[in-house]
A and B are shown apart, each in its own frame.
Chain A
Amino acid sequence: MTDAAMNDQIQAMLDRSQIDQVLARYSRGVDRVDVGLIRSVYWDEAIDDHGSFTGNGLDFADYLGERMPKRHRATTHFVGKTYFASQDATQARTETAFQAFSHPTANHEGYVIGGRYIDLFEKRGGEWRILHRVLAYDWSFTATFHEQTLGLGVDGGRAPDDRSYGFFAGMEKMAG
């Protein structure tokens, strides 16, 4: 392999790794209700067709920030492997399976949804973000959640109280 071809392959792997991190940031943003983190995955003019909401991605982030705490006690957006339908230097088309677990605020009768994020990512100035997202819903079922989690240890929370914010803040200094 020529140096140039090797370099292109390394760059493609780095791009995939960065896209992977954008997807992780989105889920973390939603589950912690961290609106700043959710907004950071979209370009300004991005469109998110989420079914229940279709419009600008940044507006969707704000909508989630308003809506999540009212409706959900706790959520987990669990993401599987990402399929790259196509990828070049500045755009990638991907499909990422997710399972969304929701323990509602009102009671303990929640649901699990299986679906896919179908995304167009674009790279601008070294950074990858979503330019267009469509959500596909594949299945769902109702699920009863425990009133209290099993009480095994630290319970999850939201920004900025969730344990992870303190954990990352301290350790990032150590890492520095």
Chain B
Amino acid sequence: MDDRVEELLDKLAIQQVMAAYTRAVDRVDVELMKGAYWEDAIDDHGVFTGSGHDFCDWVCARLPRWRSTTHLLGQMYFASLGGGRAVTETRFNAWSSPHGGGEGTIVGGRYLDVFEKRGQEWRVLNRHCIYDWSGTRSFDGTQSRGVEGQGSRDDRSYGFFAEHGR
């Protein structure tokens, strides 16, 4: 394959791993989250340091204390890409809204990642989470005019994807 095309496909694949990871966190989907890490991956998340898969179990046990979270991903900086490895920095803003409304948090930070390609698949091999700032925000529920998001398989997206699946 043309090297240039391979680079583009690798970047797209890596971006999808990031998207799957944040979807998994916000939907509290531990299986989807584990799919973002190799089995021997290490995640230094500050609050938790250890195996990536253990982090998934740990964080999914704690996430339901929030009514909902949104991990919004920004630009991805590729420090290096080649030889089956990518080293990246990805911005995130994490919004956490409490049950029943009230004081929640917003955190600005970055995921520093080493991705490794095994076979045709990219996953995280090593992650460091960096925290740049945080603040308290007042949340007043979802102001919902329709379907409300859920941190579980009850979220509408699961039904939607199943309905339109092949």
A169 (CB) vs chain B CBs: closest residue: B79
B85 within 8 A of A: yes
Instruction: Please pick, from B2, B45, B131, the residue contacting A150 in the complex, using a CB distance under 8 A.
Output: B131
The answer to whether A153 and B5 touch across the interface, beta carbons within 8 angstroms, is: no
The answer to whether B110 and A149 touch across the interface, beta carbons within 8 angstroms, is: no
Provide the bound-state CA to CA distance between A152 and B109, in Å. 11
Q: Which of A6-34 contact B (CB under 8 A)?
A: 10-11, 13-14, 17, 20-21, 23-25, 27-28, 31
The answer to whether A156 and B136 touch across the interface, beta carbons within 8 angstroms, is: no
What number of residue pairs across chains A and B have CB atoms under 8 A from each other? 135
B20 within 8 A of A: no
Residues from chain A with a CB closer than 8 A to the CB of B143 are none
The answer to whether A163 and B128 touch across the interface, beta carbons within 8 angstroms, is: yes
The answer to whether A17 and B11 touch across the interface, beta carbons within 8 angstroms, is: yes
Q: What 1/0 mask marks residues of chain A from 71 to 84 whose CB sits below 8 Å from any chain B CB?
A: 00111101110000
B76 within 8 A of A: yes
Closest 9 CB pairs of A and B: A153-B46, A156-B132, A24-B77, A24-B75, A168-B79, A78-B74, A76-B108, A175-B85, A79-B75
**Given A17-B8, A153-B47, A171-B87, 16 more pairs with CB closer than 8 A:** A27-B75, A76-B91, A76-B108, A78-B91, A143-B135, A146-B133, A146-B134, A146-B136, A149-B131, A150-B107, A153-B129, A154-B129, A156-B110, A156-B133, A163-B128, A176-B83
Give chain A's interface residues, CB within 8 Å of chain B.
10-11, 13-14, 17, 20-21, 23-25, 27-28, 31, 73-76, 78-80, 99, 101, 103, 143-146, 149-150, 152-156, 162-164, 167-168, 171-172, 174-176
**Contacts A/B (CB < 8 Å), 25 sampled:** A14-B4, A21-B78, A27-B75, A27-B91, A75-B132, A78-B93, A144-B136, A145-B134, A149-B132, A150-B105, A150-B131, A152-B107, A153-B44, A153-B45, A153-B47, A153-B130, A154-B129, A156-B109, A156-B133, A163-B112, A167-B128, A168-B87, A171-B80, A175-B80, A175-B86
